[in-house]
Structure 1
Amino acid sequence: MKTDKELYKIFSAYPNYLFKCANIRKKTTYTMQSVTLKEFERRTDGLLAPKDPKAPTYITEFQAQKDANIYHRLAMEMASYAMMNQDCDIRGILVFLHKGLDPKTNPWHYLSKSKDKFLKIVYLDEFLKELEKKQPNHPMVAVFKPLFEKDLNALKNNAYHWYQKIAKSRLPKDAKEHIQKAFISWLTARLRDLPYQEVINMIASLPDFETTQFYKDIVEVGEKRGEKKGEKSIIVKEINRFEKMKKKGDINEILFKKLCDPLQKELDKLTAEIDTIMNKPQ
């Protein structure tokens, strides 16, 4: 699944959620964007820039798989940004999906234990479990369910309920839309092994389904299927016509092959494309 991408969508749409995860009490508003650090020609997962220039700036990395160098990389990014912005109070946030992904590399990991909190470590699964105990209806709990819920039946049965929690939340409109898209993206990724029609029927029960990207993708797939099947039908008719002409003696075997071989190759190509479209949930 596109975990890092969806995490960025959620936290850039509503940075308050990231600060909540990291247990940081901010004193100003923040915007989040991905920036390229020229020292390394590398993009950060997220830079949290404060409205108040005196407030700390945070560089964030999201980690959904094991990476022994994640601490070194974040430290390099923080140092690079500090070199370009020497009056900046730069700090870091590392978000791991779970504790098992954290290599706890020192000396950088040690910074997370300092009183100054130059580095905050988040284990997302643990944070969400605690949040659900205290605020079970929190939209942040709901949006991550498709990512963390292990029981596929529970996921199918509760998807509508969880989606409603996001839809009825007091989130700003733009932030809500981005978070809903992340929910749909993770949900459809988790359901890829189910029959295609079952996925459509389940997702279609969600409110405002017609406005989701998944719905638009389904429409596009339907159009592609129709187009490809139409092309295939034309080619099959042509091949059948030439076969009838050969049987009647109007064309010989050599001419038949010259006429039909290119058509057969195109037919095989179209058949493969149709199979790909039919078997690939969006």
Structure 2
Amino acid sequence: MRRDSLFYQLFAQLPQTLFDLLGIDTPQGYRFDSVELKQTAFRIDGVFMPPDPSGIVYFCEVQFQRDNSFYERFFAEIFLYLRLYRHTFSDWQAVVIYPHRQAEQVSFDPYEVLVNSHRLHRVYLNELGSLEALPLSLALMQLTVLPEAEMPTAARLLAERTRIEAVPRPEAIIELITTIVLYKFTELSREEVLRMLGFTTEELKRTRFYRDVYAEVREEVYAEVREEVLQQGLQQGLQQGLQQGETLVVLRQLRRRFGELPAGLEERIRQLPVHQIEALAEALLDFTTLEEVFAWLEHST
């Protein structure tokens, strides 16, 4: 699991996650980034920068593998940052996120004073508590360390919480849940994961995945008809080409879902008027079998 990228997305989409970990109200105006200290090629995974010099800068590191020189590197990066950007903050705090205590290095010498100080907060994801009781941002973080067998049920629980709780940017949370599960179930497509988690058609359509993939398919099929349409140079040809493009989008999506289509089914779809093609494009997101496609055609034509 590429956790560095995953946690970067989590903090970028939901920066209140860090403050939920610290148990404090989310201050306004903080900006999250990954900062490279170019003089030494050091990189701090996450820096929460205050909106003005009177604020606190927060350093955050995700550490899922034991590294017995981790604190040496982490504090070196922090103090170099403090030296370079001292004019941008008034104080500092640091957070290290571990999956469990066994991932932490064995000896803290000679940094024990800093490790045990109020400036460093060590978080162990398996000790945060139950998914039901945690803030949604922290429950997403804990989802990354669950065993594969528990993940689908837990992910569906978080998806349901996203629907019923007043959360900002629910589409970003759905995207994060899907990404976390994809990292665990690498053999599944994103669409299969979305359906496994029980997302509705409307929720699916709001994800970046749907918008990107559908746009990609539309661009592919329109490229196939564009040259013919341009050669005709007529408005009628343009309209026919656009309708043909919509039909090809639907057929391409059906083939991705169900494999090769029966010849009779493909011909029926090609004969549909444009308004029914558009309706079928919406409806096919709910179909799980070809029988449902035939039933829709019988009912709608």
Same fold (TM over 0.5): yes
TM-score for both structures, normalised by structure 1: 0.63
CA distance in 2, matches of 1:83, 1:195: 46
Residue equivalent to 1:5: 5
Matches within 5 A, 1:163-182: 163-173=159-169, 176-182=170-176
1:64 partner letter: F
Residue equivalent to 1:64: 64
TM-score for both structures, normalised by structure 2: 0.60
Partner SS for 1:7: helix
Aligned residue pair count: 219
Q: Does the CA-based 8 Å contact 2:49-2:58 persist in structure 1?
A: yes
Identity of aligned residues (%): 24
Structure 1 residue ranges without an equivalent (≥5): 227-277
Q: Does the CA-based 8 Å contact 2:182-2:190 persist in structure 1?
A: no
In structure 2, relative to structure 1, the CA distance for the partners of 1:109 and 1:17 (3 Å cut) is farther
Q: Does the CA-based 8 Å contact 2:20-2:138 persist in structure 1?
A: no
CA distance in 1, matches of 2:139, 2:26: 24
1:143 partner letter: L
CA distance in 2, matches of 1:2, 1:158: 20
1:16 CA drift (Å): 2.5
Matches within 5 A, 1:29-68: 29-68=29-68
Partner SS for 2:7: helix
1:171 CA drift (Å): 3.1
Matches within 5 A, 1:44-193: 44-87=44-87, 88=89, 89-104=91-106, 105-114=108-117, 117-127=118-128, 129=129, 132=131, 136=133, 138-144=135-141, 146-150=143-147, 152=149, 154-173=150-169, 176-193=170-187
Q: Does the CA-based 8 Å contact 2:125-2:142 persist in structure 1?
A: no
Deviation readout 1:253-273 (Å, 9 max, x if unpaired): xxxxxxxxxxxxxxxxxxxxx
Q: Does the CA-based 8 Å contact 1:142-1:165 persist in structure 2?
A: no
1:136 CA drift (Å): 2.4
Partner SS for 2:79: helix
1:169 partner letter: E
1:47 partner letter: V
Deviation readout 1:116-137 (Å, 9 max, x if unpaired): x12221112212x2x64xx526
Q: Relative contact order, CA 8 A, sep 6+: which one is greater?
A: 1
Structure 2 residue ranges without an equivalent (≥5): 222-258, 260-301
CA distance in 2, matches of 1:28, 1:194: 38
Partner SS for 2:55: coil
1:184 CA drift (Å): 0.7
CA distance in 2, matches of 1:184, 1:12: 16
Partner SS for 1:208: helix
CA distance in 1, matches of 2:175, 2:126: 20
Q: Does the CA-based 8 Å contact 1:12-1:32 persist in structure 2?
A: yes
